[in-house]
Amino acid sequence: METQLPDDFRCPISLEIMSDPVILPSGHTFDRVSIQWWLDSGHRTCPITKLPLPEHPCLIPNHALRSLISNYTLVSPSKLQPCPQPQIVISSLTSQSSHVGTKLNSLTHLVRLTKHDSGFRRKLTELGAAPGVLKCVGSDDPSLQEKALSLLLNLSLDDDNKVGLVAEGAINRVIKVLRFGSPDCRAIAATIITSLAVVEVNKATIGAYPDAIQALVWLLISGKGREKKEAATALYAICSFADNRRRAIDCGAVPILISLLDSGLERAIEVLGLLVKCKEGREEMMKVNGCVKVLVSVLRNGSSRGVQYGLFTLNCLCTCCERLCFEAINEGVVEICMGLMEEENEKIRRYTSSLVQTLRENHAFG
């Protein structure tokens, strides 16, 4: 449809169909985001006539043209939101003279376009968008920071971008947000860690940052519902790398995760299912009063995935400690296992059989 529209509907700067046409004092019309970028870049001349403009030129909405464009395309103005050329938007993110409003507008356009378009995500990174986005992530303005984080998350969805974003310094920026950002920003920051950790080499890189795992554990303590869940998910993603398990344990993750699991955050059992694989993790779990009771509660009330991790974790602990076998028996684990043996899920049946065998070998029951 765009190729059939009159040229007067296009912004002279971006050459895109205008969504918010405004008139300069020179009498010429431009799309607001494009002319605002021009002005924020320090220009005080009309892009067409080159005639001087006032220091603070008034941008008058061109309602007639906006209505005409809307009627011509048979869509509402709110649906017509083209983005200027990527180079223009990227420049607005890095320009010292760009106002917060301009950057926010640019980020909003980019977030919308990168959400489902992997080709556009690749194009942005090839054009060098990462430094500008990361600069906005470090902004003191909460709205700008949140929108920049959303864009960073979108860019991280492509595996080809994940290593490059880490190399550009994304982890340091994200860690700072985990510590000092707003609740929504902290949740998005944790989700970015999860996304970047999909690539195996990034798991090691992220864990090697001195404050990365500590920041996630801190978020488990201080965050609210969504923040805790996203922090636990990020820990699960990076703790598939063995060295990171020990780092998480050293940061005190085990008792915090058990407490969260007891409070209903089932995602915590998935992380515990990784930490129990190392000796240090098992030793920390054994120190927590009520650990077995919490794990048995997961077997009784958890989802299918939670039950799987609960069975695996409890079996690992009981294999190493006869005392915990008797604790599990006292909590009614045998009766629960008898029921789980009838489950359709093959993995649950297998893990249940392994736990029963462990209890028998430790003479916890006949």
Pick the CATH number of 87-244 from 1.25.10.10, 3.40.190.290, 1.10.1040.50, 3.20.20.70: 1.25.10.10
Domain boundaries, the chain: 7-75, 87-244
The predicted pLDDT at position 201 comes to: 94
- Give every strand in the sheet of 21-23, ordered side by side: 29-31, 21-23, 60-61
Instruction: For residue 81, give every residue at least 6 positions away whose Cβ sits within 8 Å of its Cβ, in sequence order, or none.
Output: 19, 109, 112
Q: How far apart are CA 295 and CA 13, in angstroms?
A: 62
pLDDT tens by residue, 181-224: 999 999 999 999 999 999 999 999 999 998 999 999 999 999 99
The predicted pLDDT at position 252 comes to: 97
The predicted pLDDT at position 101 comes to: 84
**pLDDT tier at 245 (50, 70, 90 boundaries)?**
very high
Instruction: For residue 105, give every residue at least 6 positions away whose Cβ sits within 8 Å of its Cβ, in sequence order, or none.
Output: 32, 33, 36
Q: Which residues of 115-142 are buried (b: 16+ CB within 10 A; e: fewer)?
A: eeeeebbeebbeeebbebbbebbebeee
Q: How far apart are CA 15 and CA 7, in angstroms?
A: 9
Percentage of the chain beyond pLDDT 90 is 67
The predicted pLDDT at position 27 comes to: 92
Domain 7-75 has CATH 3.30.1330.40: no
pLDDT tens by residue, 191-200: 999 999 999 9
Rounded mean pLDDT of the chain? Answer: 89
Please state the pTM of the whole predicted model.
0.77
The DSSP 8-state label assigned to residue 45 in this structure reads B
Q: How far apart are CA 155 and CA 19, in angstroms?
A: 25
pLDDT tens by residue, 275-331: 999 999 999 999 999 999 999 999 999 999 999 999 999 999 999 999 999 999 999
The predicted pLDDT at position 2 comes to: 43
Q: Which two tokens stand for residue 324?
A: 């915990």
Average pLDDT over residues 127-142: 93
